Copies of this chain bind each other. A is one copy, B any other.
Amino acid sequence: MTDFTLNCPLPISRYPNVVMAHGGGGRLMHNLIQHVFVSTFGGAEPHAMHDAAELLGNGRRLAFTTDAYVVRPLFFPGGCIGDLAVNGTVNDLAMAGARPRWLSAAFVLEEGLPIETLIQVTAAMSDAARRAGVTIVAGDTKVVEHGRCDGMYITTSGVGVIEHEQTVNPLQVRPGDAVLLSGDLARHGIAVMAAREGFDFDTDVRSDCAPLAEPVMALFRAGIEVHCLRDLTRGGLASALVEIAESAGVTIAIEDTAIPVAPAVFSACELLGFDPMQVANEGRFVAFVPQEHADDALTTLRSYPVSSGAVCIGAVRDTSRGMVVVRTLGGERPVDMLSGELLPRIC
């Protein structure tokens, strides 16, 4: 690894130690993944470490994914770390075009955690698994001393089955593709922020945490050509679109006025100085489909409660510059990933 360290490009070398933003879903995390994990583990394609990986075995296509959950606080309006951990992994599988089937759950528990809290969280996981049609088949528990954890951390991994013939990843994105967004933005981030800081917003904002596999499977069943899917977690819509644009080498142009944000969420974002496009969601995704399939895809998505607010927010331009632009009343401006840390420990 010495060679790697010596050759390590900025900005890793500007950060000799891990900082919170390395987990924030923005540019710094992107660089850490590229320069440490992908380099070391040898992911051949840039998107390999982001979403579920496809396992090419004999006979059938499987997707495999993992995510650690460290959200603070453990309980927030609309959910808790338990359903977050189940839905997050379910959604990563769905974004790979797979039907989620089996989950594992590994717990790191802090000494002193009330067993009752653990029971509430596992009950929430069990409910979420049932709703998403997955089975939790394997688990592990470790305990660390008081002060070496924050209540509990959960890592869920998942295996799903790809039941169609399509290939779904950023490299399939084509000029002309419509960019569909499944619903309004930024609910999860604002709900967690409010629970953590004790803010009392006018309206009750609840997390959008929900399983997304049903509407996604429906797209495939309806025969819609799906080029790319991405859920909008850490880093929000902005990070997701920038990662896709950079991987695919395309320019994604979105319309500011087309992006739905609930009034209460919008007010909270204004108050806190957050851009709703950079705030985390746990039940929203984008789908890239050919323009001629966009209307059918929207009709399909809108027939499910979780994606009833689906809209087209833009299109892929015929240029090879890997970037995202947003069109506003005042003109057009580039969108970048979060460079620092907006809101740590959001998931």
A 124-153 binary contact with B (CB < 8 Å = 1; else 0): 011001000000111111111101111001
Q: How many residues of A contact B (CB 8 A)?
A: 85
Asked whether A108 is an interface residue with its Cβ less than 8 Å from the other chain, the reply is yes
- Tell me the smallest distance from the CB of A123 to a CB of chain B, in Å: 4
- Interface assignment of A297: CB less than 8 Å from any CB of chain B: no
Interface segment out of the listed A113-121, A284-292, A301-309, A331-339: A113-121
Whether B40 lies near A126 (C-beta < 8 A) is yes
Task: Tell yes or no: A37 within 8 A of B by CB.
Answer: yes
Question: For the complex, what is the distance from the CA of A116 to the CA of B144, rounded to whole Å?
Answer: 24
B149 and A36 contacting across the interface, CB-CB below 8 Å: no
Q: Is the CB of A20 within 8 A of B70?
A: no
Q: Quick one: given A109-B23, A113-B17, are A37 and B155 in contact (CB under 8 Å)?
A: no
A330 within 8 Å of B by Cβ? no
* B140 near A110: Cβ-Cβ < 8 Å: no
Known pairs A142-B153, A144-B153; list 12 more (Cβ under 8 Å): A17-B114, A21-B143, A22-B109, A33-B139, A48-B137, A52-B138, A53-B102, A55-B102, A64-B138, A68-B106, A106-B155, A157-B157
Each complex incorporates copies of this chain amounting to 2
Cross-chain contact A344 with B143 (CB below 8 angstroms): yes
Chain B: CB-nearest residue to A120 = B1
Interface residues of A (CB under 8 A from B): 1, 4-5, 12, 15-24, 29, 32-33, 36-37, 40-43, 48-49, 52-53, 55, 57-60, 62, 64-70, 101-102, 104-116, 118-120, 122-123, 125-126, 129, 136-145, 147-150, 153, 155, 157, 159, 161, 344-345, 347
Candidates B60, B64, B129, B150; contact of A104 at CB < 8 Å: B64
Q: Which of B29, B64, B111, B141 contacts A141 (CB 8 A)?
A: B29
Cross-chain pairs A/B with CB under 8 angstroms, 17 sampled: A1-B119, A16-B116, A17-B112, A18-B118, A19-B143, A40-B122, A65-B104, A66-B157, A67-B140, A68-B140, A70-B142, A70-B144, A138-B157, A144-B150, A148-B148, A153-B153, A155-B155
Q: Of B17, B22, B126, B159, which one neighbours A64 at CB under 8 angstroms?
A: B159
